Chains A and B, each alone.
Chain A
Amino acid sequence: MALIKTINFMAYRRWAQAVSFLLVVASIASLSINGLKLGLDFTGGTLVEVSYSQQADLSSIRKQLEQANYNNALVINFGSEEDVLVRLPQSKSSQLGDEILATLRQDYDGDIDLHRIEFVGPQVGEELREQGGLGLLTALICVMIYVTFRFQYKFSIAAVAALIHDVVITLGMFSIFQWDFDLTVLAALLAVIGYSLNDTIVVSDRIRENFRIVRKSTSVDIINRSLNQTLGRTIMTSATTLLVLFSLFIFGGEIIHGFATGLIIGVVVGTYSSVFVAANILLSMEISQEDLAVPVVEGSDQSDMMP
């Protein structure tokens, strides 16, 4: 993929700043107003997924459950018209799932095939919530330490800012569209951290290298040059990753849907952020040659002077 002309990415940095700012603000606003539609893993409760032998009549199922005194049951199709998902809010009884299954089977002539029953106690839900948040924080902190150690603190701030940007926007999408946020989406989010970081590091690596070899050039030029040099790779890798993710999204089934969605958004945002956000922040921190000077090893050329 030969690039014919170099793109002056940094010329668009004001625009990029505005776009990122808007997206992040919208995400935070939605997260604080709407919150996340937490899945069963985090809220606790009971879920029953069954497959009817024919197309399922949701309204009659609802009526049936109401008659059996399950008043706050949520009944929806899951993936196909035969598959039905019944979800009930928090309860302490782990028997509920079996009871619901029995109720459904009671007045139905055809076959009802049990796909799954999940019960998560309130305590466990709360713990998973805490653990999840803790995991995200730990991941960010570890990354920051690693990048500081391998690069330099300015890179580490830029990398972590890009990561927070990606995570917040991905979370924001789940909040704006009120998609179910469950454990698999959390896993996707952590994978996004890994992926986006991967991208940012490749770009940072090149920026560092160019700062060291290209003398007499402005920071903007060097960053632009680095971005252009890595652009082909950035696009290729995102493309292959998105290819497999879309395959997972389309063919992977309903359970993995949220996971694939989270990763697709994350990869798109992550690719954008490694080009615009991380580099942008590096510039605004006035990254310069001195920050990256290779320390001279003292006495490195003295061995020849031995008699």
Chain B
Amino acid sequence: MNQYSLWKYAIVLLALIMGIIFSLPNLYAPDPAVQISGESSSLVIDQEAYDIASDSLQQADIAVKQIAIVDNKLEIRLLSRADQLPAKKILQNALGRDNYIVALNLAPTTPDWLKSMGAGPLKLGLDLSGGVHFLMEVDTLAAIDTRLRSSVTSYKALLRKEKVRGIVQINDNVVTGKFKTEALRDKASSLAFKSMPEMTRNKFQREGVFYLNLELGEQAIANLEDEAVGQNLITLRNRVNELGVSEPLVQRQGRNRVVVELPGVQDTATAKRILGKTANLEFRLAVNGDTSSFNREIIAFEDSTVEIERDIIVTGESVAGAQFGFDENSRPQVNINLDAEGGKLMHRITRHAVQRKMAVLFIERKTRKIGSQLSADNELEAVYERYDQRRVISLATIQSPLGANFRITGIDSQAEAAELALLLRAGALAAPMEFVEERTIGPSLGAENIALGVKSVVIGFSLVLFFMVVFYRVFGLAANIALTMNLLLIVAVMSMLSATLTLPGIAGIVLTVGMAVDANVLIFSRIREELANGLSPAMAINTGFERAFLTILDANLTTLLAAVILYAVGTGPIKGFAITLSIGILTSMFTAIMGTRSMINLIYGGRSIKKLAL
């Protein structure tokens, strides 16, 4: 009795070894490092970059531990954290800011033999590593509106080309066309099907006028929203790359939100400025004599205004790139590349608009205070409103039909050209965005949180160990070994799953430590009871483990249920708590039941026992 078959011992031993291996990397402190990567992925980090970096650091007397090229990135490990910022500056100057991105980083020092087994250290959440978390909301309504207007522009061009005369207007996402004859209206309808198949068409007649209503269906709207959020994601990723963060997270959340997490970022103001350029762009023609009165709009330009058409040629979404440079006469210019679709649209419109002027409209989402009001608790609070600031940032004459690549020349200064290029790049958002949540954790608080978390785990853990030995003696010792193994396994499983450790996550571990002994306590009290009922020690052990099992299962499953719900409704750090709690429950069931049992079996199994140290 009370002997485990060999395979059960083997499982426990295997789990223990896995636990040790996968939690081991966390003991190796990471190196402060600087990471250099190319602005675009096509740039290969070669020996030349290696030499420049190594020489410039040597000249500046910055001690380097190791330089290596890893995954087309140059990883420079330093000896001291204080050297990180100076090193970054030196490298930026030596390599040039245009082609290389220099980011601060903490490089793991996991030994190769551990790495070869796929082990690595835990990922730390922002509240432990320091950094910024942003939640941004994409104004999908605006995206749909913009898209609608730009497809209507090309539809109108098509109507003109096919000589279908009529008036086409947009009201509240409904496109209405008015035509004089039924034939024209039907022709327009079939053209609409050709150029905008996603729209539902609706024909009717009123007072001798033939109408065509075009509307976006629900599916089409959902698709547009997806596209808009997707495009914004791409733009945000590019901007994040400009920031030079080693392991950023840019992720869609829900229908119209984007989460951006930048671990280790210290200069949050810059991060916000670069990410937060919540602008978008539209290329439109300036009005001429043919422009109908519906299609005119007056917009600020430099110190005065300019009247431009409402019809959109292309939007900032189509801008694939914009760089400033110099023309043949060394005057500043901006080179613009559009994507294929944008190039086609640009060509279609500008073909008939040579010598007309084209404006670049820049739209920025801003907030302003519009007054104050009394709040519920009778305090004066400011009232804000959102508004779009619209201005024309460039007005240039179209010299010849344009395509996917064109340039804006005649810019006064180099600075102006650089600014325009930056704005053009920044405007590649499909829809305006605004910050709806922001959490910035300073690096010192992160370090403090780690220290506090570790301290409370250590103290709580030691107290429980002491308590268990006092009350359950040998059995308590077995439970303590199981508890230690549980702690190892939690860390190991989290490292294996690349789960992120947060401060509430640490709280989850602490809580698990407290609750994990519950299973052992249940078993041990049961064994005591069975002893009191007159069972032999060996029988009591066996019955105790068996009887307690179902209770443990029930009790743990319900806690797991709560943890899963917590994960589903929680955000960020709370999810971290839910994860450690769930993992802890699962591992504790294993260690408390199988782990403890195998130890008790090793101690008491296979021999006759008179008395249990319980």
Contacts and interface: CB of A to CB of B under 8 A. Distances in A.
Interface of A: 1-2, 49, 51, 71-72, 89-95, 97-98, 113-121, 123-124, 128, 131-132, 134-135, 138-139, 142-143, 146-147, 150, 183-184, 186-187, 190-191, 193-195, 197-199, 201-202, 205-206, 229-230, 232-233, 236-237, 239-245, 247-248, 250-253, 255-256, 259-260, 263
B268, B570, B578: residue with the most chain A Cβ atoms closer than 10 Å: B570
B115 interface: no
Contacts of B525: 1, 229-230, 232-233, 236
Contacts of B517: 236-237, 240
Given A97-B438, A117-B268, A195-B559, A236 B135 contact: no
A187 B459 contact: no
B252 interface: no
B515 A241 contact: yes
Contact of B467 (A71, A119, A191, A243): A243
* Chain A interface mostly: helix
B558 interface: yes
Interface stretch (B28-36, B86-94, B242-250, B449-457): B449-457
A284 B464 CA distance: 37
Determine the main DSSP class of B at the interface with A.
helix
Nearest to B366: A93
Interface residues of B, number: 79
B435 A119 contact: yes
Given A117-B268, A237-B518, A241-B514, A139 B570 contact: no
Given A198-B518, A241-B511, A243-B514, A114 B557 contact: no
B511 A244 contact: yes
B456 A252 contact: yes
Given A119-B438, A233-B522, A247-B510, A256 B515 contact: no
Given A92-B386, A198-B555, A253-B452, A124 B437 contact: yes
Contacts of B166: none
A53 to B, nearest CB: 12
B444 A195 contact: no
A121 B577 contact: no
14 contacts: A89-B375, A97-B440, A115-B441, A116-B439, A124-B135, A135-B568, A147-B558, A183-B573, A184-B573, A187-B574, A194-B581, A201-B558, A240-B518, A243-B463
Interface of B: 127, 135, 137, 268-269, 272, 276, 367, 375, 379-382, 384, 386, 434-442, 444-445, 448-449, 452-453, 455-456, 459-461, 463-464, 467-468, 471, 503-504, 507, 510-511, 513-515, 517-518, 521-522, 525, 528-529, 532, 550-551, 554-563, 565-566, 568-571, 573-574, 577-578, 581
Given A97-B438, A121-B436, A244-B514, A116 B380 contact: no
B407 to A, nearest CB: 35
B565 A135 contact: yes
Nearest to B513: A244
A115 B445 contact: yes
A244 B510 contact: yes
Nearest to B566: A190
Given A236-B525, A247-B510, 10 more contacts: A97-B440, A183-B573, A184-B577, A187-B574, A190-B563, A195-B559, A240-B514, A247-B459, A251-B459, A259-B507
Contacts of B471: 1, 236
Nearest to A142: B561
Nearest to A255: B503
Contacts of A183: 570-571, 573-574
